[in-house]
Amino acid sequence: MVVDYEVRGHVAVITLNRPEARNAINGEVSAGVEAAVDQLEGDDDVWVGILTGNGPVFSAGADLKAVAGGRVNEIQTARGGFGGLVRRERTKVLIAAVDGPALAGGTELVLACDLVVASTAASFGIPEVKRSLVAGAGGLFRLPRALPPAIAMELAVTGDPISAEIAARFGMINDLVEPGTALEAALALAARITTNAPIAVRISRRVMLAAHSANDDQLWKLSAQALAEVIKTEDFAEGPRAFIEKRPPNWTGR
């Protein structure tokens, strides 16, 4: 299997498992990631996902053999786009756990996630211009959202990478950790998320993502709709009840 899917409690770990090819994205990997996201989204008992890579490289991006052979369509899916992920509509939080270089499409996969945990062994970059390509899987507009515009522009036009330390300094990374511990730290972050009501988390994520493109009037309406939606859930009553009874809440996700 070039993509592994493992459930740990309320968390699903999706692992790119093509280490001999630096986890480069080919058609099989793209289809595998899309299928894994389908599982994540379809399982009501799984509330958070983690995307990571097996081996010393998170992902070197697109399989250039496929690109050079004119098989670009093979490395994307109809719903998810490149890697089965970058254009995929999702409802659940997805954390990137990066313990090595994430370059070109590897960076674009990271940018498609909601949160990033990276070790000091990680690096990020969009070197496509060095091969007369462009970062067409979201890097050219998501990177300026994750980094200061001048830094993002430098990465785009030089093709040079930045270290995890620099990425963390500019706010692209949520948690910077020691090499070999990125997945462990991502699981710890996921555990902090899964202590909360899962529907409220998903609704909050939805409104936060809308802030990139909607105006304040639209966002006020979305916030009001979000509150009205969460009030209708079973978990809405459980939260205050658990507080009054001085116990941890028992979320049902309903």
For the annotated catalytic residues, the residue numbers are 108, 128
C-alpha 96/C-alpha 90 separation (Å) is 15
> What string of DSSP letters covers 40-64?
HHH-TT--EEEEEESSS-SB--B-H
**Half-sphere exposure at residue 96, Cβ-oriented, CA atoms within 13 angstroms:** 28
- For helices 234-244 and 216-231, what crossing angle results, to 10°? 70
CA end-to-end span of the chain: 33
Tokens 């785009």 belong to residue: 156
C-alpha 116/C-alpha 94 separation (Å) is 9
C-alpha 217/C-alpha 148 separation (Å) is 26
Of the candidates 112, 77, 82, which has an alpha carbon nearest to the alpha carbon of residue 98?
112
Is residue 117 a contact partner of residue 182, using CB atoms and an 8 Å limit? Answer: yes
